[in-house]
Structure 1
Amino acid sequence: MRFLSVATALIGAITGAEAYWKGFNVGANNPDGSCKTQADWETAFTVMQSQPGYFTSFRLFASSDCDTLARAVPAAISTGSQLLVGVWATDDGHFGAEKAALEAAINQYGTDWMIAISVGSEDLYRGDISGDYMAQKIYDVRGMVRAMGVDKEVGHVDTWTAWVDAANEVVITACDFVGMDGYPYFQGATIEQAPEVFWQSVTDTRNAVNRVKPGTWVWVTETGHPVSGDNFGPSVASVSNAQSYWNRVACECFNSVHVFWYAYQDYNSNPSFGVIDANLNSIYDLSC
């Protein structure tokens, strides 16, 4: 596959502290609500590769919704991109469809395009399912892919507040990696306070994880600052504040942790965290 040669060159070019995934969250829907086609996925990937940071890593939220993997995986292979796969886990019917879509993608395309697998997204924060139920879904997916000969890490993504809750320690035990979502904006932090608030949430999550399962990596799977929309207390949504948060948080993250910024596009949302506008131009400077 083309990805193999691209990935080999990439890994050969980065070592030590530089060897971290740096990417973006990309939804399966376009801002108008339509499902992304394979061409739309290719556009998203190539637009981010054209940015100063040359971003080639992307997080997906689901596998079957909008035929996500059936469309995104060939787009990733054709553009030399890598994907953190999402498997929705909230209800059994949906979960079954998600597993089937992941199995089909692996059977058709192998796994050179895959970074890891995240089972669920903020389910614990929303209170949709219990920690025990979430852990069983993680074991279920890991068992399926291991039986297929796939050794990619399998984990879960949730808010940092969920990870520091002792009731969810069973999920930490089940994870190969822990994906942490943290938004100082939603904590009511000013832009001056935001970096300290963010890194404190990372530290608190790492401490909680290490108490339960030492050595487990914490990935930053969502963070960012809105470019427009309503303020959240003293947190102000603006392009200038989003730029400041990028300069002071993203650029440090890229050298110290696996990170997937939120988000590629969401310009019809309020607040809007997207970094790319309707004309496929960056809203603020994505260099470091």
Structure 2
Amino acid sequence: MRFSSSVLAFAATLSTASAAYKGFNYGAFFNNQVAKVLADFEYEFNAAKQLPGTNGEFTSARIYTMIQHGTTNTIIEAIQAAINTKTSLLLGLWASAGQANFNNEISTLKAATQQFGASFTDLVLGISVGSEDLYRNSVIGSQNNENPGTSPAELVNYIQQTRDAVKGTGLAGKPIGHVDTWTAFVNASNNAVISAVDFIGVDAYPYFQTTMANNIENGNDTFYAAFDATVAVSQGKPVWVTETGWPVTGDTRNLAVASAQNAKIYWDDVTCSLINANVNLFYYTLQDVQWGNPNPSFGLKPAGDLQQVNPLFDLTCPGSSA
């Protein structure tokens, strides 16, 4: 197993650094497009904390939008669920639907701050302006038939709008960042976005890197090559891992085979190394099969009974006493 120099540098600070954030990504709706409501988010946030083998350390949640699915500007019910379950939050403002929609994201962010006050703002770890917008705006994104994204200039404008919106509120001083693929960050035409943020959130999936030798045996090297490349262009900004994982079911992509066995290998090699190095981490994902049949599926928890606690494979990291 290869550990990158970047991660080893993080690990060297373990004795003085505070514990890193550990959590999962949570969409606003199920695969059948039905909106998640309060009970759904509460179930997910509580289930994450109860995962055997993790010492109850997955207490954070990354969301992609402030808006309840199917509404114009209603506060997403994940906020109340986080307050009820004491789950810390990496907020997301969707930035690939134009200025009018972003206005609604900002107004909903302000409304949540006003309605919930410190019970909300004290849980906020940071705010991500956008998610993979630069990737969707790229040639690669177009080739993969992704929806339109956002230009670097537009994204910088949205970031400034967010800074202006949180001034004088309980969110003032919270780090503001952007989440994208590592390929977007290493593209020099996007450097203005890196300059505008406080942190970078990188999404890296060896499974999808089909132009490389992306078998599970190379998963660790492939991930850390992407992570190191992102750190190299980060302008000294902290790099958070906002999405990574290996699918438990799905099509074979080049040399990458989706299976619970391979997901376990990836968890041990990559996820556990990030945990040990105290890197802020949001794994993809806790459970993605409550409805529908996604291909690929990255969920740690199986389909069926939503109250099922046990994951599809052992989450105890090598050498851990969990």
Question: TM-score if structure 2 supplies the norm length?
Answer: 0.81
> How far apart are the structure 2 equivalents of 1:226 and 1:69?
31
Report the aligned-residue RMSD: 1.6
> How far apart are the structure 2 equivalents of 1:69 and 1:182?
29
Which of 188, 197, 212 is matched with 2:222 structurally? 197
> How far apart are the structure 1 equivalents of 2:16 and 2:285?
27
CA deviation after TM superposition for structure 1 residue 69, in Å: 4.4
Give per-residue Cα distances to partners, 1:92-112, cap 9 Å, x unaligned: 121111111111111112201
Give per-residue Cα distances to partners, 1:128-178, cap 9 Å, x unaligned: 221111111111101111242521111100000000000000000110100
Which of 179, 186, 192 is matched with 1:170 structurally? 192
User: Which residue type is aligned with residue 274 of structure 1?
Assistant: G
> How far apart are the structure 2 equivalents of 1:129 and 1:170?
13
> How far apart are the structure 2 equivalents of 1:156 and 1:49?
26
Is the CA contact (8 Å cut-off) linking 1:31 and 1:265 kept in structure 2?
Answer: no
Which of 109, 112, 115 is matched with 2:122 structurally? 112
Q: How does 1:1-288 map to 2 (within 5 A)?
A: 16=16, 19-51=19-51, 52-53=53-54, 54=56, 55-66=58-69, 69-90=75-96, 91-110=98-117, 111-127=121-137, 128-149=149-170, 150-188=172-210, 189-210=214-235, 214=236, 216-256=237-277, 257-267=279-289, 268-278=293-303, 279=305, 280-281=308-309, 282-288=311-317
Runs of 4+ more than 3 Å apart: 14-18, 67-70
Is the CA contact (8 Å cut-off) linking 1:70 and 1:105 kept in structure 2?
Answer: no
CA deviation after TM superposition for structure 1 residue 18, in Å: 6.0
Secondary structure of 2:178's match? strand
> How far apart are the structure 1 equivalents of 2:230 and 2:240?
10
> How far apart are the structure 2 equivalents of 1:162 and 1:272?
24
Is the CA contact (8 Å cut-off) linking 1:73 and 1:113 kept in structure 2?
Answer: no
Task: Give the stretch that moved more between structures: 124-133 or 27-36.
Answer: 27-36
> How far apart are the structure 1 equivalents of 2:32 and 2:50?
24
Is the CA contact (8 Å cut-off) linking 1:18 and 1:254 kept in structure 2?
Answer: no
User: Which residue type is aligned with residue 245 of structure 1?
Assistant: Y
> How far apart are the structure 2 equivalents of 1:287 and 1:37?
31
Give per-residue Cα distances to partners, 1:40-72, cap 9 Å, x unaligned: 110000101101321110100111142684411
Secondary structure of 1:23's match? strand
> How far apart are the structure 1 equivalents of 2:282 and 2:182?
15
Task: Give the stretch that moved more between structures: 156-165 or 50-59.
Answer: 50-59
> How far apart are the structure 2 equivalents of 1:235 and 1:275?
18
CA deviation after TM superposition for structure 1 residue 207, in Å: 0.5
> How far apart are the structure 2 equivalents of 1:30 and 1:283?
20
Task: Give the stretch that moved more between structures: 36-45 or 108-117.
Answer: 108-117
**Corresponding residue number in structure 1 for 2:146:** none
Give per-residue Cα distances to partners, 1:214-269, cap 9 Å, x unaligned: 2x100000000000010110011111001110011111111221110001222221
> How far apart are the structure 2 equivalents of 1:72 and 1:175?
25
Question: TM-score if structure 1 supplies the norm length?
Answer: 0.90
CA deviation after TM superposition for structure 1 residue 284, in Å: 1.9
> How far apart are the structure 2 equivalents of 1:159 and 1:70?
25
Report percent identity of matched pairs: 43
User: Which residue type is aligned with residue 86 of structure 2?
Assistant: G
Gapped runs of 5+ residues in structure 2? Answer: 1-13, 138-148, 318-322
CA deviation after TM superposition for structure 1 residue 209, in Å: 1.0
Task: Give the stretch that moved more between structures: 180-189 or 25-34.
Answer: 25-34
